[in-house]
Each structure stands twice: as C-alpha cells, then as structure tokens.
C-alpha cells in the first residue's frame, strides 16, 4: 500500500490520540488471535456517529476540507477471513480497498462496504494490495494469484506459472511499474502494458539469500526497489536494495515482517515475535532502535518521511516517530463508552492513508478509521 499524502502521520495522529510517552503498555490489547477484545469493541463496531471518537471540529473553509468532526470509528467489514492489508483508492473520501483470507476483497466506499468477487479466486487467501494513482488495483495472494482490477472489472492475471506454486506475500509499485514477491525468494515485475515476468534477485554485493529465504515485503519508490527477506531457520533476515550494479544486501538481526521506504530515502524494517525489532537505515547499515515502550514484535510500518513514521505491533500497539523520539498512539474512544477501545483489538496488519485527515488501521477482525464525519 502507498501513502497518498506528503503531510505528517505523527502530528495529526498524536493530536487525536492520547499520547502516553512514559507509560509502559505491555500486556494490554487483544489476545493472540485478535478476538480477545471483541466484547470491548461491541459498542463501537457499527460505525455510527454515536460510536465515533470526537476529537474536535475539523479544519474547514480556507483549506477546502469538508466540514465536520475528526473522529475514530471502528467496524468489522463483511469478510469471512482475517483481513491482511489495505490501500486508499485515491484522495480523501474516495474510499479504501481491503484484502483478506478466504478470498476476501472489500471496497469501503462513502456509501458503505462493497464486497468484490473475482472469478478464479474462490477461497484463496489474498495478502497484499497496491493501488496506483489511476485507481487501478493490484492484489497478491496464495496459489500464484495476482489480481488486477478497477471499478467493476476484475481479473486474475494468467501469466504466473501454476507450478511451482508461489505464495505471494507482498506487492507494491510506482506508477505502472509493479513488483510482487513471495516465498522461496520469488519476484515478478511488470511495467506498462507488459505482462508480469520473473525477476532474478541474486545478491551481487553482500550476504547471499541462501536456501529457505522468503520475500515478505517490497517497496517501490521511483527507480528504487527494496525487498525484505526472512531467512527462515536462521531467525535472521536481509534487506535487499536494487542498484545499477545488481542487488545489494544488508544484514538484519531478526527476521523482518515489513519494510518501508520513503521518497526521501528513509528506510525502516520491523519484525520480531517475543521481542521487538525496529531498525532504520543509517550510514549504510540497519541500526536497531530503542525507546519503543513495548516488549513484543512489530508487524507493520508506514510513513511520509524520515521524521514521520508510524509502526504497528502485536496486540494492537501503535507507535509514531517524529524524527527524535517514539510516542504511543491510542485511537480515542467516545467519552462514556462502556469498555472503550483504548487501542485496536488484535495485531496490526497494515496502515492505509488517503490524506492527513483520512487514514485506516487494519487488524485481522476490525478496521479503525480516522476521518471527517458529519
């Protein structure tokens, strides 16, 4: 998924949430399957105004924003499987596209959710989505599935070989250049009207991928392409950078779950399970970050630049980085709500962003949206 706005995650997110930068939050949040806080969110899952967190009047008038109130709402989209990723369909107000296991694909429109059925997908797990500036969506999933679509026209791309089967983990692009990556260090690329073709990702500078390596994340920013590698049995990983001379690898202390690359060159990786792992590229190496105030792994990362990064973790934890320090971000529940959600229920799967005042936090069973509401 891509961020569409060049403005900050941190400033707006910290304004709307409760910032508890000195409080340790270990132990709170949903249980491991993401359902532990379902009862706590029952009062807020239908997305009505009564269920929204009012954070004050939205800017309006001279900046052209819609009049209303900036609010957090939480709701459960109509999918059978766990949600896996999300992407904005364009500017603020145009909606979002969500992927899920069991073939789940939902378009969140201003008029309500719309389930999309793609012929040939069935119950295949869909794991990642990229939407380009024209609204064309590219979706990657298990069983060598790559889907292309927009509006009411959706199709499975036929050029991916059915054997060996590729379990795609991630997809990203810039303009009409799209990369899809997955298990067994497989990568496919297309540009323009061409079909997807397999890419040779062989490291020419640095540690080799080795056997058992899986590509778990990809970022495409202009000519830059970065891939995160889980090395499997070694419990370590690599970040790969495509250069003019080939592929360069950077060693990672822990197997990564996600990688993010900003237009300004900022590059972060996150991972870990029983211990957190967050690292950023500094002086040619990935340096582990401290001060996270969390004891478990991180699962998602996004941002707009070096001083504006947001991180998602196990059990619903969210952290923001302003270039100097991390802060805790808590989506704020409505005053007086019984069992208010102090944070999302379940592990953070992804972030999606349409504008500074319109963004989405995706978890397996709920999405949490911050947007202008009447």
CATH code for the domain of 57: 2.130.10.10
Does a structural domain hold residue 355? Answer: yes
Q: Which is more confidently placed, 72 or 133?
A: 133
Q: Which is more confidently placed, 344 or 66?
A: 344
Does a structural domain hold residue 235? Answer: yes
Does a structural domain hold residue 4? Answer: no
Q: Which is more confidently placed, 334 or 256?
A: 256
The predicted model gives 89-104 an average pLDDT of: 90
In the structure, what pLDDT confidence band is assigned to residue 339 with cuts at 50, 70 and 90? low
Give me the pLDDT at residue 91, please.
Answer: 77
Is residue 254 within 8 Å of 235, Cβ to Cβ? yes
The predicted model gives 130-145 an average pLDDT of: 95
Containing structural domain, residue 160: 9-373
Residue 290 exposed, middle or buried by CB count within 10 Å (0-12, 13-18, 19+): exposed
Buried b (16+ CB within 10 A) or exposed e, 70-87: bbbbbbbbebebbbbbbb
- Cα torsion 45, 48, 52, 55 to 10°: value is 160
Going through 211-291 in order, the beta strands assigned E by DSSP cover 214-221, 224-230, 237-243, 246-252, 256-261, 267-271, 277-282, 285-288
Nearest to 229 by CA among 173, 176, 283, 187: 187
CB-based contacts of 218: which residues, under 8 Å, 6+ apart? Answer: 170, 171, 172, 179, 180, 181, 187, 225, 226, 227, 228, 259
**Tokens standing for residue 89:** 């369909």
Query: In this prediction, what percent of the chain has a pLDDT beyond 70?
Result: 78
Does a structural domain hold residue 54? Answer: yes
Does a structural domain hold residue 3? Answer: no
The predicted model gives 159-178 an average pLDDT of: 93
In the structure, what pLDDT confidence band is assigned to residue 67 with cuts at 50, 70 and 90? low
Does a structural domain hold residue 93? Answer: yes
Give me the pLDDT at residue 82, please.
Answer: 96
Give me the pLDDT at residue 360, please.
Answer: 92
Give me the pLDDT at residue 22, please.
Answer: 21
First to last CA, the chain: 27
Q: Which is more confidently placed, 260 or 67?
A: 260
Give me the pLDDT at residue 62, please.
Answer: 41
Does a structural domain hold residue 180? Answer: yes
Give me the pLDDT at residue 163, please.
Answer: 86
Q: What span, in angstroms and rounded, lies between the C-alpha atoms of 131 and 184? A: 25
Q: What span, in angstroms and rounded, lies between the C-alpha atoms of 317 and 279? A: 17
The predicted model gives 165-194 an average pLDDT of: 96
Domains contained in the chain, number:
1
In the structure, what pLDDT confidence band is assigned to residue 57 with cuts at 50, 70 and 90? very low
Q: Which is more confidently placed, 234 or 291?
A: 291
Q: How many other C-beta atoms lie within 10 A of the C-beta of residue 288?
A: 13
In the structure, what pLDDT confidence band is assigned to residue 161 with cuts at 50, 70 and 90? confident
Q: What span, in angstroms and rounded, lies between the C-alpha atoms of 194 and 214? A: 25
Does a structural domain hold residue 113? Answer: yes
């Amino acid at each position: 998924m891509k961020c569409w706005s060049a403005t900050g995650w941190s400033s707006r997110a910290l304004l709307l949430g409760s910032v508890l930068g000195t409080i340790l939050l270990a132990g709170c949040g949903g249980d491991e399957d993401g359902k532990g806080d379902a009862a706590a969110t029952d009062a807020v899952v239908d997305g009505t105004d009564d269920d929204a967190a009012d954070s004050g009047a939205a800017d309006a008038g001279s900046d052209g924003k819609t009049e209303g109130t900036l609010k957090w709402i939480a709701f459960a989209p109509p999918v059978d499987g766990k949600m896996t990723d999300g992407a904005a369909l364009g500017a603020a107000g145009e909606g979002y596209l969500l992927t899920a296991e069991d073939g789940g694909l939902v378009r969140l429109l201003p008029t309500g959710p719309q389930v999309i059925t793609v012929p040939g997908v069935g119950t295949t797990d869909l794991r990642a989505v990229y939407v380009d500036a024209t609204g064309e969506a590219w979706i990657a999933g298990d069983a060598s599935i790559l889907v292309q679509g927009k509006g009411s026209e959706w199709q499975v791309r036929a050029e991916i070989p059915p054997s060996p089967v590729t379990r795609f983990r991630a997809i990203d692009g810039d303009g009409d250049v799209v990369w899809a990556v997955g298990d067994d260090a497989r990568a496919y690329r297309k540009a323009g009207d061409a079909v997807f073709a397999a890419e040779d990702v062989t490291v020419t500078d640095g540690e080799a991928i080795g056997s058992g390596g899986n590509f778990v994340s990809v970022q495409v920013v202009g000519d830059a392409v970065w891939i995160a590698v889980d090395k499997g049995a070694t419990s370590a990983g690599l970040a790969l950078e495509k250069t003019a001379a080939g592929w360069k690898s950077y060693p990672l202390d822990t197997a990564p779950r996600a990688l993010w690359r900003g237009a300004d060159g900022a590059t972060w990786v996150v991972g870990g399970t029983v211990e957190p792992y967050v690292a950023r590229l500094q002086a040619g190496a990935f340096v582990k970050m401290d001060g996270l105030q969390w004891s478990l792994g991180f699962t998602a990362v996004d941002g707009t630049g070096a001083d504006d990064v947001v991180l998602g973790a196990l059990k619903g934890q969210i952290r923001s980085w302003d270039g100097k320090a991390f802060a805790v971000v808590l989506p704020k529940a409505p005053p007086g709500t019984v069992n208010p959600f102090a944070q999302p229920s379940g592990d953070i799967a992804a972030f999606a962003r349409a504008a500074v005042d319109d963004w989405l936090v995706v978890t397996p069973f709920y999405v949490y949206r911050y947007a202008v509401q009447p």
